[in-house]
Structure 1
Amino acid sequence: MIFTRIWIICSFVIWSPLAFAKLSPHPKLLLISFDGFRYDLLNATWTPNIYKWANRSSWFVNGVRSQYVTYTAPNHMSIVTGLHEPDHGIVSNYFYDPATGKVFDYFNSTQEAGVVNASLDMSWYKGDPIWLTNERSDSSRRSVSFYWPNGEAPFPQEPHKPSLYRAWKDYRNLTQWMGDVDDIVNLFTDDKDPINFLAWYIAEPDHTLHKNGFYNGALRPMIHQLDELFGYLVAKLHDSGLESELNVILTADHGHAEIQGAKNVMCLREYITSEGYVLGDHMMYPESEELALELYHNLSTAARTMGYKVKIYLKENIPDKFFYKNSTRIGRIVIEPEVGWAASFSKSCTRKKLLETYGPGKIKFNSSSHGMDPDRWEMRAMLAMGGPSFIPGKKITDIPNNIDLHSLMCYLLAIEAAPNNAGMSVVSQAILVKTTGLPHVDTSFSESLAFTFLIIPSACIVVLFMVYICRNTVLSDNPKWMWTRGQYRPLHMDIFDAERVRSLYSRHSELFLMSLLPKSTVEFTDPKFWKNFFATRKTPFEWYGDYTVLGAVLEKYLKMSDNILQIGCGNSQLAAQMYDNGFRNVHSIDTDSAVIEEQRHRNRERSELTFSKDDATSMSFGDEEFSVIVDKGTLDALLPPEATEQQLDCVHRMFHEVQRILKVAGRYLIITLAQHHIVNCFMEHFLTTGQFLLRVHEIENSASGFPMPVFVFVATKLRNVMNMSMPIELWRAGSDRFEKFVDLHDVLSVIASEQEFNQFVHMCSRVKDILSNSDYKRYNAVTATTVILTVGCTLRTLLNIGVVNSKPPIMRRTDVRIKLDHEASITIESQNVSGPRYCFHIVDDPNVKTFNSYAVFVIPLGREGEWIFSTEKGRKTLRQQAEKIDFLSTGSVDVRVTKASGESSVNGKWTVEDIVVDGQEYRRLIFLSSSNIVQSEALLKSKKGGKKAVDLEHMTCDHHTLMLSGLALLSQNPLSDPAAAQLKVAVLGLGGGLLASFLLRHLPKATIEGVELDRDVVTVAIQWFALPHNDPRMRVKVVNALDYLEETSTRSVIAMNLVTRDEEVARKAKRSMASHFPTLYSISSDEDVNEVLLARVTPNEKFNPVEFARSLRKDIRWVHALEPVIARITPVPSQ
């Protein structure tokens, strides 16, 4: 037995390289983009060929998220570079670069001579597109770009351009497209010099949508042409034998949204001056800051007063989540229409002209646009991928970013990706053959053996050594270096013995460069220490982050014309990075002459960047010489926690010098870790002057894996001394607005909480190291559950922790990660109130090979009793839906107002609430006694006088739309002429009556009966949900629905909403329904757990959902909306 096991292991080690060697040295990949193809246009009715292919491939059914702004050129560049738009340089289709005075207009929207060639200058382009990365990885690889936006542009790194390219052109001819397919197949199958990567772009349906919108009939023929083209491609791949070798990714750059009418177009030039600025696609570049503020005021005031749903941003106020600030090419003013709206810089655009042209009785305004918030569903593009490396028949509901396609493509091509912003956590769900990501071992048998017996063992030794080192280097010293007063306290790490760690450091100081670290905080203030530090550490020291981390905040307070001073520059590259981002007037000082000489040598090509030796406590500059002063870590270095009088005096002298040389309206920016004594010293000094406005920005610090957040203190100098106390403004990381504080104690409290949270998150990220440490076994009494969540830090210093699960979960090791065989849970109890304050459940997926990310789902208050949250099986289901983002919840409710509440004898306590979710107002009926069930939800609309009314024209509940599809099963087909359909419809479970009201309004000859067991609910429906109970065609019966069905003699079709996540319960329900009805269909919701069962009393073998959906009328909006729903109806198989 032992010999057998050894033989198996040895066989794998010897032969596994040979298995890799059989893989193609040139994996083949075809990337296709149909411009503006929104994800929901991919359906069985409009695109049968693409739909069929997507169903047997890996299909991201909710689409892919674009980058901001959602325009063509920048998003196509993001897809092939994996970079956010400011990072690859193409920030729009048409934009201006103030640093060079040049205009980028690749699509020639200005029709100016030479502008296209000027837009192909190498200086515009950053990053490394996939076609160049592919060719650079092996000289025998070949890449091709067919019409890809900027696909022919030269990039800085060789080979600059792909082997073959066809420049972008806007052509819309199916015959030409099919000719391209023939060329593509020939290129991949060429016997002499085959390609292995091709990117292909087609400018449709974007052009058709811009010109015609969704509803005038022009879109569908164009979509059919694209579908026919794709069917032709699939057939050609099959006939050529490429089908089994070529991976295909089909996507688009963005979605589209219908502009709701001419009144929804904001003609921007009507509200601004005609000169003093340069325009971009959606941006303005004013010549002065004064003009910028004037333009911003005029446009934002116009949008507000005229009712335009158009967002006007100053560049610094663009939400951080869009990654659209850190470039000089982005305009000072950015304009973003909301979905359904548009903004135009056209000189011919006037509101009067639009309304005259498209007014009532005149031609209809048909147009669609993009450029909106990429988080809106309308902006999402389609994404499907098929081929030998993808899972067939896989439908994925998670939504990736389009930059993630770059990482995926590098993985499929087995090449090392250039630096990028992309990830793989979502797109990797589609991958079937994981080994395709391994680099190809293109070598002889002897080299393979060398790889096996030399490189792999060597790597294993290195890994084992690093694990040993990591295991023995978990800090456990008292962390009170941060807070020493009052209630501000850090998290502790007391799992590991501090003395053992110190002894380890003393034995291995050469590994950890401990000689660089100060023996005490006092050394931070000693110039000799820093001289030795910079002499020993040759590389730039960016402990507090570089410009990529700090730039978003710095650019809020820096202007190109500013005269900037950096004090205590050290060997940091911050000044050079500011220079490279357009800030030319930067002077840096330091007390170390060697550092100054090094900086001068390193930046000798940056002629305007200057350095000098000077002392920040006694500077040689004149009064009011600088408009911005930047301090990166100098204050932290000068002021230890237990500062002497001499050290405090040194800091105050530096503050006074800053006040002296700073201009009026100048900004003093301190980049700091914001320790308690630092905050106190800074705030007390500048608050007492009465001449400074104070702000605090929190920055997420990713530099060197440091566990603490970095803060930027901003002191803005006023012309006169203010005799009143000024509030302190604080901007948390990830927030889009300031919080104002009057009390310094409140500012300290917020900073403390942010630091504690960041430290906790940092320690949680080290769970792998702690759980792999042998010392973990010594703490098994705490149970694995506590160690997993607390990650070696003792939350007992903050909260009382109790363990819920009595048995520790079994750990299963895969790769270097730890996984749980079953769920683990702990509760955290309050200090003051008995009982659990929080309950944490840790749910791993045992089928995932490696963990690349985690998610935290925050359960809303009152919903903890729901099946999906309260049971282990339910939480497993939730885990499968919660892999794509870090922190999740069931919705972002912005505003909640309780309109009414009460208690019924049937359903218990209830409440009616008006809420605002993502800017839209809704009214909800909630049963509090039944796990907070939202029984009914209605859209609210504004009436004259500002009053709100229930909108009975729209249904917000997805299952109502699914139930309406049951009308398709009726033999008389009421959907062909709803106005003439004489039906009798019963709604069992009236609730708020929204489905009944909708049927009453849209089936004018039908009789509607609402059946409800709870009389109080009927009253609520009438009073709060506008149930038209007085309409002669509406009858409301307060009876048991079962009794009602017993008394009803004629039944044709029944639609029942099945709400369960328990598969066994669902099977039993379907089995029971099938035993009573000869015809049973089902249709599931894409958005939630609802599944509607559709049953007929009599058989209907001729019903074809897809054909029926195609026959629906297009001129009736609500009927047309049922088309994709009915097409999804499927027969229920025998249970």
Structure 2
Amino acid sequence: MNLLPRSTKEFGSVDYWEKFFQQRGKRAFEWYGTYLELCGLLHKYIKPKEKVLVVGCGNSELSEQLYDVGYRDLVNIDISEVVIRQMQERNTTRRPHLRFLQMDMTRMDFPDAAFQVVLDKGTLDAVLPDEEEETARRVDQMLAEVGRVLQVGGRYLCISLAQAHVLKKAVGHFSREGWMVRVHQVTAGQTAGCGVESRFPLPVFAFIMTKLRPVAGPSQPVFELCTQEQGRPLRLDSAELLAEAVRERQRYAWLCSQLHRQAGLGTVSLDLCDGDSGEPRYTLHVVDSPTGKAARDSHFAIFIIPQGRETEWLFGTEEGWKQLAVSACFRRLVIVALHRGQSYKGMEGIQAELSARVLELAPAGMPAQHQVPFLSVGGDIGVRTIRHQDHSPLSGDFVVEDVQGDNGHYFRRLIFLSSRNVVQSEARLVQDVAHGDQKKRKKQRKKHRATDPPEEPPAAPGQCVDKNYLCCEHHKAMVAGLALLRSSEVLLEMPLAVLVVGLGGGSLPLFIHDHFPESCVDAVELDPSMLVVAAQWFGFSPSERLQVHIADGLDHIAGLAGGEAPPHYHAVMFDVDSKDPSLGMSCPPPAFVAEPFLRQVSSILRPEGVFILNLVCRDMALKDSVLAGLKAVFPLLYVRRIEGEVNEILFCQLYPESKLSTPELLERARTLECALRRPGRCWDNSYVLSDMLESVRIV
């Protein structure tokens, strides 16, 4: 039997509802949930002794069940004479004080301020199927009548799916009237009813509109969202933000329903936010393994990325997540990233927070009471400490943070929050300064008395940085590219001239300055804030041989190229990121690889010089175009792919006859490394120059 209207407009028709209840008979129809699903909310917002008006009651058992648990002052109205007669017959003997009246809610017969609560379960949704003028006029009349019959301090409690046009109408009407507006999530979706007819893939919400006493002059509307997970409501600044928060809950419920029905949707990512602040707390990546890759009982697992390691390829890219999911051998793996600025109480605390939430993402067919394992690297959630955070007009919000890496080493990183999973600069911290003496300092603190003088302040941030260690693989490859110079065996004794565009934390120009004693390095940085960060947090300091120019790299090179006697650098290095994430190329900005500009770069290079470019490009067509432009200016082009990352380092030279075979290139790298390893020189033994050039290919 078809009990749904052919058109949503029929929801506002008396004839439709008369026919609906005649066909359905006396069997109850529960819109948006049963009493058991709603009773927690109802008991929270309705007191047993309050006068309650139920509008559009239909043949729901809700009023009867409220009556049976002690709510006696209940009046029910509906536009359908058929359903009112049915409900009167059903309740005359058992519930003599439960009243049912046929009445149009847009023209109610009750006096002003007659009720303390108006309860609406699905009625507003039914009478507001569209945004046409006639529909809007009728709903305005209904809401005005609700306001009229409520006392000051009374509440309009409306159970709804909170479709966008319904939410906009209800919130807009009552906020203009100066009422307090709260939207409370009642169910998470999927189980919002009792049977096939009443199941909804979207969550059910309740609007709690509280009538306040009018005040003279303008007042700030109050908008709040209360979800199932949080105890207190989240205050929002506008109706638009409230609507967006509701939409996020609806999207999440829809996503859960899709993930439950089928696998193989691809990688799906979503944020879970802190209930009090509204700030993202967890980012979840849901990845399904290919069919047949998982063991029969390996249904579902949660993998926690240790703090600070979400920037690694395996944990920070879609390709890495897929590889991780395959190696974990579960049908579905939820990979969880922990957000900076949030505090976590170890793996047990995270498991307690996430257990209920992530189960909503489980695949279909997972047995009931199945124990879902929580996994991580070594079972540890890692350590992250934010040392500094600030805002730059050019780079946006950024943080300097210390994180724990492999083998107990700590690393300092510069992160632009517009690209949370990209490390802009990184330096290893000297272990005994960073954290090796922490236990000793804690013991010393315990011995201090109140009369003791205060402890000395901790060492300055820059003094903790290990300047001999290059963290970034692409920086190691860029330094190794100096072996392409014809005079590589005497580079340490010659006045090597290097231009580096893009300072960041200063690790690359500082390394060249420190390890090539006769070098002169010019660094160009657009953002003056980065020079401050490099000096205060990464141990960077200019000198006579290391000059920093605060300028646009494009303008600076154009100025050099247009001079009367252009300087001739042995090496020009570009390590500059793009601020536009939509381009498909995050490093460098497109203008830095435009052919006219590349010719300016070539004009400031020595004949045997090398132009070294850090290229990060996911758009294959765009990358081919960049390579073609480079080849037009620099006929000799080597490419070195950074393993496990998107980065490719391009080594560009002007003369094809300078081409070196792989054995010749590796021999030059070994010669240069031997010079750098001489006694008395500081050198990181894990850094092998020839390894950086072994996989170089000529394009």
Which one scores higher on RCO, CA 8 angstroms, separation ≥ 6? 1
TM-score normalised by the shorter chain: which range applies?
Answer: 0.3 to 0.5
Relative to the length of structure 1, the TM-score reads 0.28
TM-score by length of 2: 0.44
